[in-house]
Amino acid sequence: MLNIVARIGLTVLTIVVALGIGLLLRRAVVHRLKDSELDDWLIQTLGALVILPLLLVAALASPIIITWDINQLTNVLQKVFPGATSQDIKNFALNLFWTLLIVLLALGLARTFMRIIVRRLAESRLDINMRILLGRISAILVLILAFFWILSLWEPALTVPVTVVGIITVAISIAIQDIVKDLVAGFYILIEHPFRIGDQISTANYTGRVEDVQLRATKLRIVSGEEVTIPNSLVFGGVVINNTFYDERRATISVTLAQEEFVQDETPALILKTLKEIADVMAKPEPRVTVSSMTGMVSGYTGSASGYTGKVVSLTVRFWIASGQLTTVTEVICRLRDALPNADLVVRESAGDV
């Protein structure tokens, strides 16, 4: 009989050899699958599975090597699981192993299917929102199939999964009502696509470019540079303005000046002439100037250098520009300031803030 030191040394050697062979096989598998379309999670999982059987064999062989008695291993397991037979322990170990294996493979396959579907459908003209939706649905289906596969391994009584599913459903429906509303709203947004990724939209509180449309939330990069995540229920239930749906936008500027500086025909003509000299102001539809009000004793008017508080005339200037042209409104304001140095100029419907 070998002494205890030799047995321990042989056990350590067995584990080291098994680990070394497993690492070499894992490296070969990962290197071979790197160029495939498989998700990195699945590749790493398959690499770990190559090592796992060798380590399992080494772990089972270790007590046998030390004691040279396979019955000793059975005795240890029966102490851990009192009242269980050897066959019960074997079945439990196999079910546990297959459960872990199914979970790891399901996560990897779900992510892989989602990537493949989104990438393959990119070659078609299908909307990107729809491609993302189909990819996520495929991932969820894979996880559901894995769940039922695991149930078939453990073979629980029919009332057990039904009761568990019922309790979980009621708890979830009460606890995450807002999340469910966001998911339903996200589904409708992805189906109806009132806006697409890359569009610039305005909600009740934010204006920005759509970066991503998820089932639960919509992500915007607002004009100041930050990323904002808005729950889909707020987007779907509120008013959303798609600033880039059309190629052109109308801008409105309010011009206020003293009545004695206003000439009925000459002042609007001067404003229109100034607008037509700006290249980025669209010729069609034509710019328009209308008199919106004529009032007296307006103390808030500060256009005059002397703080004029007499009668004033308010004009509304409307013109069309290309969507997203920030500098055009600024240039119009500067040109009108040169043409009407004593007027107050206020942007009423600004295309510059988007």
| Residue 183 forms part of a structural domain | no
Nearest to 128 by CA among 66, 204, 197, 209: 197
Q: What would the two tokens of residue 20 be?
A: 């070394």
Domain range for 163 is 4-170
Lowest pLDDT segment from 45-54, 102-111, 195-204, 217-226: 45-54
Please list the residues that pair with 318 across neighbouring strands.
252, 288
Distance CA 282, CA 318 (A): 11
pLDDT (0 to 100) of residue 62: 67
Average pLDDT of the chain to the nearest whole number:
76
Give the angle subtended at the CA of 222 by the CAs of 219 and 227, to the nearest 5°.
45
Same-domain pairing of 158 and 269: no
Q: Are residues 72 and 129 in the same domain?
A: yes
Between strands 227-231 and 241-242, the pairing is unpaired
143 Cβ neighbours under 8 A, 6+ residues apart: 106, 107, 110
Pick from 229, 233, 209: nearest CA to 219: 229
Number of domains composing the chain: 3
Same domain, 204 and 289: no
Residue at 72 is within a domain: yes
User: Which has more confidence, 150 or 65?
Assistant: 150
Nearest alpha carbon to residue 315 among 233, 259, 274, 354: 259
pLDDT at 77: 58
Q: Are residues 14 and 132 in the same domain?
A: yes
CATH number of the domain that residue 195 is part of: 2.30.30.60
| CA distance linking residue 37 with residue 43, whole number of Å | 10
Residue 212 predicted with pLDDT over 60: yes
- The string of DSSP letters for 221-287 reads EETTS-EEEEEHHHHHHS--EETTSSSEEEEEEEEEEEGGG--TTHHHHHHHHHHHT-TTB-SSSPP
Residue-wise pLDDT for 257-270, tens only, equals 888 888 888 888 99
10 with 158, same domain: the answer is yes
Both 163 and 19 in a single domain?
A: yes
Q: Are residues 319 and 300 both part of a single domain?
A: yes
To 5 degrees, how large is the angle CA 145–CA 151–CA 153? 105
Helix (H) or strand (E) holding 116: helix 86-121
The answer to whether 176 and 169 have CB atoms below 8 angstroms apart is no
Position 354 in a domain: no
Does 161 lie in the same domain as 47? Answer: yes
Question: Which two structure tokens, joined as six digits, stand for 103?
Answer: 């979970």
Looking at the fold, whether 145 and 21 belong to one and the same domain comes out as yes
Roughly how many angstroms between the first and final C-alpha of the chain, as a whole number? 85
- Looking at the structure, tell me whether residues 256 and 292 fall in a common domain: yes
**Residues 101-136: tens digit of each pLDDT:** 788 788 778 888 888 888 877 777 677 777 887 888
**Given this model, what pLDDT does residue 75 score?**
63
CATH (domain of 297):
3.30.70.60
Residue 179 lies in a domain: no
